[in-house]
C-alpha cells in the first residue's frame, strides 16, 4: 500500500487547487473544476476564491461566468449549503445531493403550512408556485419583493413552531423561492447591489435531466478524489453529507485505491498514488469558507490545532486565512477604509513575508475600494478589521 505523507498532500493541494503561481487558471470555470465546488453562502466568497486562483483576477470574468455565460451554477446541495459549480458538473451535484435537499425543503414548508392552521396545503403551494413562475416569466427577471408585489399569495405569513419558546411569524416568499430554486425552476441572477450583495434577482430556468443518484455519487466521489485525495472516508462523508454506506459504495464504484496517510488510511482516484515533485513556494490569501480550508473533516495536515480558536467561529465556519506552502499560517481582514490587513500565527521567515505582501497587493488591486465583511465572522477577523 502506497504511503502519502502530509507533505505530499500539501504539494497536491497547492497544485491541484491552483494556488501555486505556475498552476493558476485562465478561466473561472477551470478554477471551479479544480476545487469542484465554490462555497456560495456568502456571495463574496465565490469572487474571492476564484480570483485567488486566476492568473488575471477581476470581478468581470466571474460575473460573466455567473450571469452571462451561466457556465457557473449555484445549487443548494452538499450539507444543505449553497455552492457554485461548473455547468458540466451541476447535473451530478443535482442528482447526488440537490434533489434530496429540495425534497426536504418542500416537506418542511408543507409541515409549517399544516401546523399554521389556516387551511394552507399542498394545493395552495402548487398554485402559488404556478403564479410565481408565471409572474417571473412575464418579467424575465425580478427580485423577491417584486414577485411578492405581483403574487399576493407570496405575502402570506405563517406561524412556525407554534406554542414553543422560539415561535415566530415568517413570510412564505423566501421559502417558496428557495424551493423553486432548489428544484431548478428558477435561478439567481445579478444582485441588486454590488458583487458582494445577496439580494439577488431571479430568472426562469429548467430542471436538469434525469440521472441515477448512485451514478451521480460515483462521479462526484471520483472528481472529489482527484481534487482532494488522498483523503479518508470521514472526509468524503463530511464534505458530501452522504451516509457512510453511500460513501463506501461510491468509492468502490469509482475504483478508489487505498493508501496510507500519516496516522490514518485514505483513498485516491485510480492510478493517483504516485508521489508528485516538489512545488515552487506559494502564498495565498483565501476567504472565509474557501474550499481549500473546507474540503476535509480532518484539516490537521494543513492547519495547526493551536490556530483554530482564532480562525473559526463558534459554529465551525473558518474565516479568511493566510497560506504558505500548503499550510494555514495566519488570517486577514479589511479595515474600515478597505485596506487589507493580515497577521501571521506561525513564524514562516522573510521569503514567505515578501510573497504574502505581494498577495496582499494583488488582492487590494482587484478588490479596489470594495469593503468586504465575511458573513461568518471569526475572532481574528474581527480583531484585525477593528
Other CB atoms closer than 10 Å to residue 221's CB: what's the count? Answer: 29
Radius of gyration of the chain (CA): 22
List b or e across 108-123, with b for residues whose CB sees 16 or more CB atoms inside 10 angstroms: ebbebbeebeeebeee
pLDDT in tens, 321-350: 999 999 999 999 999 888 999 999 999 999
Residues present in the chain in total? 386
Provide, rounded to the nearest whole percent, the portion of the chain with pLDDT above 70.
Answer: 100
Q: Which of 137, 160, 163, 162 is nearest to 150 (CA)?
A: 137
pTM value is 0.95
pLDDT at res. 269: 97
DSSP 350-382: HHHHHHHHHHHHHHHHHHTT-----SS--HHHH
Segment 127-139 mean pLDDT = 97
What is the per-residue pLDDT across 265-285, written as a single tens digit (0 to 9) for each? 999 999 999 988 999 999 999
pLDDT of residue 372: 92
379 confidence band (pLDDT: 50, 70, 90): very high
Strand partners, 202: 142, 188
**Burial per residue of 201-219, b for 16 or more beta-carbon CB atoms within 10 angstroms, e otherwise:** bbbebeebeeeeeeebbbb
Q: pLDDT per residue over 60-97, tens digit each?
A: 999 999 999 999 999 999 999 999 999 999 999 999 99
3-state secondary structure of 266: strand
**Cα–Cα distance, 174 to 155 (Å, whole number):** 10
| Angle subtended at Cα 318 by Cα 230 and Cα 308, rounded to the nearest 5 degrees | 85
Tens digits of residue pLDDT in 151-204 = 999 999 998 888 788 888 889 999 999 999 999 999 999 999 899 999 999 999
> What is each CA distance from 279 to 55, 200, 275, 326, 372, in whole angstroms?
17, 40, 12, 10, 31
Q: Which residues contact 191 (CB under 8 A, 6 or more apart)?
A: 43, 197, 198, 199, 200, 201
DSSP at 17: T
Amino acid at each position: 500500500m502506497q504511503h502519502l505523507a502530509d507533505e505530499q498532500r500539501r504539494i497536491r493541494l497547492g497544485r491541484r487547487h491552483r494556488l501555486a503561481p505556475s498552476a493558476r487558471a485562465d478561466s473561472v470555470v477551470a478554477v471551479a473544476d479544480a476545487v469542484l465546488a465554490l462555497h456560495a453562502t456568502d456571495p463574496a466568497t465565490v469572487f474571492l476564491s476564484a480570483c485567488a486562483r486566476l492568473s488575471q483576477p477581476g470581478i468581470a470574468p466571474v460575473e460573466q461566468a455567473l450571469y452571462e455565460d451561466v457556465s457557473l451554477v449555484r445549487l443548494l446541495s452538499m450539507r444543505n449549503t449553497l455552492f457554485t459549480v461548473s455547468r458540466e458538473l451541476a447535473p451530478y451535484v443535482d442528482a447526488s445531493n440537490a434533489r434530496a435537499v429540495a425534497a426536504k425543503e418542500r416537506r418542511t414548508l408543507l409541515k409549517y403550512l399544516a401546523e399554521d392552521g389556516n387551511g394552507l396545503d399542498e394545493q395552495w403551494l402548487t398554485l402559488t408556485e404556478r403564479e410565481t413562475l408565471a409572474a417571473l416569466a412575464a418579467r424575465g427577471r425580478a427580485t423577491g419583493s417584486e414577485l411578492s408585489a405581483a403574487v399576493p399569495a407570496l405575502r402570506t405569513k405563517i406561524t412556525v413552531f407554534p406554542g414553543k419558546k422560539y415561535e415566530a411569524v415568517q413570510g412564505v416568499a423566501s421559502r417558496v423561492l428557495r424551493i423553486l430554486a432548489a428544484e431548478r425552476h428558477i435561478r439567481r441572477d445579478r444582485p441588486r447591489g454590488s458583487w458582494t450583495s445577496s439580494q439577488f434577482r431571479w430568472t426562469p430556468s429548467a430542471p436538469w435531466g434525469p440521472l441515477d443518484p448512485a451514478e451521480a455519487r460515483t462521479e462526484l466521489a471520483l472528481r472529489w478524489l482527484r481534487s482532494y485525495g488522498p483523503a479518508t472516508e470521514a472526509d468524503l462523508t463530511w464534505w458530501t453529507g452522504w451516509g457512510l454506506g453511500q460513501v463506501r459504495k461510491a468509492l468502490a464504484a469509482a475504483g478508489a485505491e487505498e493508501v496510507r496517510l500519516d496516522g490514518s488510511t485514505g483513498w485516491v482516484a485510480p492510478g493517483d498514488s504516485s508521489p508528485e515533485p516538489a512545488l515552487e513556494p506559494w502564498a495565498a490569501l483565501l476567504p472565509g469558507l474557501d474550499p481549500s480550508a473546507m474540503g476535509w473533516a480532518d484539516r490537521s495536515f494543513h492547519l495547526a490545532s493551536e490556530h483554530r480558536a482564532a480562525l473559526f467561529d463558534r459554529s465551525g465556519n473558518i474565516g479568511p486565512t493566510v497560506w504558505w506552502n500548503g499550510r494555514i499560517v495566519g488570517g486577514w481582514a479589511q479595515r474600515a477604509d478597505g485596506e487589507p490587513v493580515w497577521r501571521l500565527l506561525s513564524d514562516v521567515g522573510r521569503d514567505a513575508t515578501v510573497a504574502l505582501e505581494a498577495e496582499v497587493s494583488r488582492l487590494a488591486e482587484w478588490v479596489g475600494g470594495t469593503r468586504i465583511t465575511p458573513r461568518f465572522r471569526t475572532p481574528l477577523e474581527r480583531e484585525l478589521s477593528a
